[in-house]
Amino acid sequence: MVKTFPLRRHEIVEKKLGVEDFKVRWPALFSMDEINAEFMRITTVPLQPRFLASLDKHHSKLIDIIRNKGGAVREKTQNILRVLDQSLEVNLKRECLLKSLIVYLGEDVDKLIKEYLVSSYMQ
């Protein structure tokens, strides 16, 4: 990974290689283990534990923001937030928060989760 970083950067920045072409050319970068290793190499910070710790730290503020949103977002997040309120399990709470954030940002939860599941089965 260290040796190929400049080449990958060149392909993204200069050649403007598309995502599908990039996936074919550099499949390791679409593996969770490889992404974590690459992030650690570049920043010396463990990506996943850092992300989850930050998510946990800002959990209550993010939930307040989502709960205060009205309209379609409120309707779409009601069931998700109900599960979050009833659960004591940390991973389920994180999942609910992430799904709610996706809805809050106007994205389709089903497409994102589907994309993740498809890519995780291909590994």
pLDDT, tens digit, for every residue of 60-102?
999 999 999 999 999 999 999 999 999 899 999 999 999 999 9
Task: Please tell me the predicted confidence (pLDDT) of residue 122.
Answer: 43
> Mean pLDDT for the chain?
83
Residue 90 and residue 116 in one domain: yes
Contact residues for 66 (Cβ-Cβ < 8 A; gap 6+):
73, 77, 81, 100, 101, 104
DSSP classification of residue 16: -
Both tokens of residue 62?
């993010």
Last residue of a domain, one of 17, 36, 51: 51
The yes-or-no verdict on residue 50 having pLDDT over 80 is: yes
Residue 12: the pLDDT is: 77
The single residue listed with the structure tokens 């989502």 is 66
Same domain, yes or no, for 81 and 40? no
**Last residue of a domain, which of 51, 69, 87?**
51
Give the model's pLDDT for residue 81: 93
Same domain for 83 and 123, yes or no, is: yes
Same domain, 28 and 46: yes
DSSP 31: S
Is residue 51 a contact partner of residue 62, using CB atoms and an 8 Å limit?
A: no
Total count of domains within the chain: 2
Question: Cα–Cα distance between 122 and 116 in angstroms, integer?
Answer: 10
Round to whole Å and give the CA distance between 17 and 112: 22
Dihedral sign of CA atoms 48, 22, 123, 95 in order: positive
Q: Among residues 30, 51, 72, which one ends one of the domains?
A: 51
Structural domain range at position 44: 1-51
